[in-house]
Structure 1
Amino acid sequence: MSQKTRNVEIKARVNDVKDIIKKVAGLCNTKAEVIEQTDTFYKTENGRLKLREFKDGTGELIYYERPDVEGPKLSNYSKSMVIDPTSLKTVLQMALGAIGTVKKTRMLSHFNQTRIHVDEVVGLGNFLELEVVLSDNQKPEDGIQTAQMILEMLGVPASDLLSGSYLDCLKLL
């Protein structure tokens, strides 16, 4: 089943991962879920398409459109659960061609309508990602305000914000 939704997303470089994990735990008051993920990105004319593979052998096919600007940005996306990502990966590679892979260990926490990720990205380092999931009646400005409030609560300076994706950062190396 595919679902289409929107969120406001923001990424920031993390200099002190132990400190940010402690702050996120205090804010969320729950233990984070640890998720190992491998995202393979494919050539598309519009937006971005990635196949996300999980350690348990399942996956998600995710298409999204998001501007590459610093700070909070609106992301429109649709995703579909995949029970055989290995064979789908072969099909997508043959049909579209892969443009890169991002491997990460993600610590997922929730704060109200926001998914808070502390990511360790292979080859890049540690990052904080906020995804403020918008309801149908919410405006992007609502999500931007929420993301900025959480960044302030966590003490993340604007100078640490990223404009692009992890794949974009890896390509710059």
Structure 2
Amino acid sequence: MPSNVEIKATVHDMQHLMQRAKELSESDGTVIRQQDTFFTVEKGRLKLRNFMDGKGQLIFYERPDMDGPKLSNYSISPTADPEGLTKVLTDALGMVGQVTKERKLFMVGQTRVHVDTVEGLGHFMELEVVMKEGQSMEEGVSIAHKLMEELGVRKEDLIEGAYMDLLLAKQKTQNGHK
């Protein structure tokens, strides 16, 4: 199963982060619009990523919910019918919820730098160090830490879990205060 080392953080200065990402990747980045639908599963997470252009990916992944660098194992299958597959999986498994985001992707070496605007949550940055065969987790963590520093991301801005977890927690808080 392929793996990557991930770091996710809240972004306070979007302009600065975008400028640094452009400099480090020597590119303007690629805009990707996505809607992720999460399904009820016993272990790990199963989501269908709809690219809103008739294409999608079914993604299963397992990673610990903690802040800082974490190893994520995943498998991906492309689909040409994300809407139909979403309906089938919702009927079969039940839907946990959906996350809609606009993502700007920058490649820095073997790392995918995502600058995300998540509907209902705000701005975030995610690093995915795509591990090479035989590369240790420690190497991946080291790459992530170095890039985090170069992008100006502070340790106290790191978050744990997925955007879906943050949205569910926010809904729970809002519903609890009504």
TM-score, scaled relative to structure 1? 0.97
Which residue does the alignment assign to 1:66? 63
1:138 maps onto 2:158 in alignment: no
Shift of the alpha carbon at 1:172?
A: 1.2
How far apart in 2 are the matches of 1:23 and 1:150? 10
Structure 1 runs of 4+ off > 2 angstroms? none
1:147 maps onto 2:136 in alignment: no
**Root mean square deviation of aligned Cα:** 0.6
Q: 1:129 aligns with which of 126, 129, 135?
A: 126
CA displacement, residues 45-100 of structure 1 (integer Å, 9 cap, x when unaligned): 01000000012110000000000011000000000001111111111011000001
TM-score, scaled relative to structure 2? 0.94
How far apart in 2 are the matches of 1:28 and 1:17? 16
Which residue does the alignment assign to 1:107? 104
Instruction: Name the structure with the higher strand share.
Output: 1
1:55 maps onto 2:52 in alignment: yes
How far apart in 1 are the matches of 2:86 and 2:162? 20
Shift of the alpha carbon at 1:120?
A: 0.2
Which residue does the alignment assign to 1:83? 80
How far apart in 1 are the matches of 2:145 and 2:96? 32
Q: 1:20 aligns with which of 12, 17, 21?
A: 17
Structure 2 unmatched ranges of 5 or more: 171-178
Aligned residue pairs: how many?
170
Question: Which amino acid in 2 is paired with 1:100?
Answer: G
Shift of the alpha carbon at 1:151?
A: 0.4
1:11 maps onto 2:8 in alignment: yes
Question: Which amino acid in 2 is paired with 1:47?
Answer: G
How far apart in 2 are the matches of 1:57 and 1:5? 25
Structure 1 unmatched ranges of 5 or more: none
Shift of the alpha carbon at 1:146?
A: 0.3
Question: Which amino acid in 1 is paired with 2:133?
Answer: D
Which residue does the alignment assign to 1:29? 26
